[in-house]
Amino acid sequence: MTITRGAASVIVVAAVIASLTACAGGESSVTLPPEGGAPDYQLGDGYPPPDGVDIVVRDRTSPPPANAYSICYVNAFQTQPGEQQDWPDELLLAGAGGDPVIDPDWPDEVILDTSTDDNREAIEDILTPWIQACASAGFDAVEFDNLDTYARTDGALTLEDNVELAEDLVEVAHEAGLAAAQKNSAEDSRTMRDEAEFDFAIAEQCAEFDECAAYEGVYGERVIDVEYDAAVFRAACLDGGMPRSAVLRDRDLTSPADPAYVFELCTQLE
């Protein structure tokens, strides 16, 4: 088949647009993060992105940066520290003794109970204004954290419970014009993309836990990784063992004014 110069230009433009946007239900489009873009993970405190940074993740309570692709962090499957009292008791997962189930790694966070349709609907009702506020503030995407609570509750929650809630939250995000990032649950990435329709992934320590390939096999170049171990990060940078969009941060995600602050990109090691 012969393609004229004008037609070829149209095809190229269409391909570029398709690579930058994803349709949500045919009603709206969302902008995807730049492939291989340099990220910074600023949940502790927002600060001007370092030189060369293309992608910034900030908490939903912080404004997005002006000159970077911005991702809004929402703790969607458990409570944020200090916010347990903001959630109805019936939406908090209860243990055998009736006490709320606390995340073993984050003692200030209680796992949400996604096990029933009514609970999932109620959780969505609480999170929807947060997601819409991210869009109104000017963020490009939203990260839904702790998607993997079903793997940490001894069977009290299931993969299907969280996928159903994730599907609803992604739909809310897309309707608001936001791309949606899968967070955690590397082994279930294909299910998360195909059923919940996540657009890209954000991983923590995928090089350290040998999970990067599980994300990349589904999302390709649109995987953003945050590492906390300098030796692991630098080795993975040198041998290509993690996504191109990767950053080394300190575990407390401090700002540059803090002596504990750590920020490093693979390109700085070249």
Domain count, the chain: 1
Task: Using DSSP, state whether 123 is helix, strand or coil.
Answer: helix
Q: Is 27 exposed, middle or buried (0-12, 13-18, 19+ CB in 10 A)?
A: exposed
Q: Is 162 exposed, middle or buried (0-12, 13-18, 19+ CB in 10 A)?
A: buried
Q: What is the CATH number of the domain that holds 20?
A: 3.20.20.70
**pLDDT band of 270, cuts 50, 70, 90:** low
pLDDT in tens, 62-114: 999 999 999 999 999 999 998 999 999 999 999 888 889 998 888 889 999 99
* Mean of pLDDT values over 233-241: 93
Nearest-angstrom CA–CA distance, 168 and 198: 11
Q: How far apart are CA 91 and CA 89, in angstroms?
A: 5
Q: Confidence band (pLDDT; 50, 70, 90) for 7?
A: very low
What rounded mean pLDDT belongs to the chain? Answer: 90
Residues 202 and 182 sit within 8 Å (Cβ to Cβ): yes
pLDDT at 230: 97
pLDDT at 21 over 60: no
Domain span at residue 47 reads 5-269
213-222 contact pairs (CB < 8 A, 24+): 214/186, 214/187, 214/189, 215/182, 215/186, 215/189, 215/243, 216/243, 217/189, 217/190, 218/189, 218/190, 218/192, 218/193, 219/182, 219/189, 219/193, 220/35, 221/35, 221/36, 221/245, 222/32, 222/33, 222/35
255 token code pair? 């700002």
Tell me the per-residue pLDDT of 184-213, one tens digit each, with 9 for 90 and over.
999 999 999 999 999 999 999 999 999 999
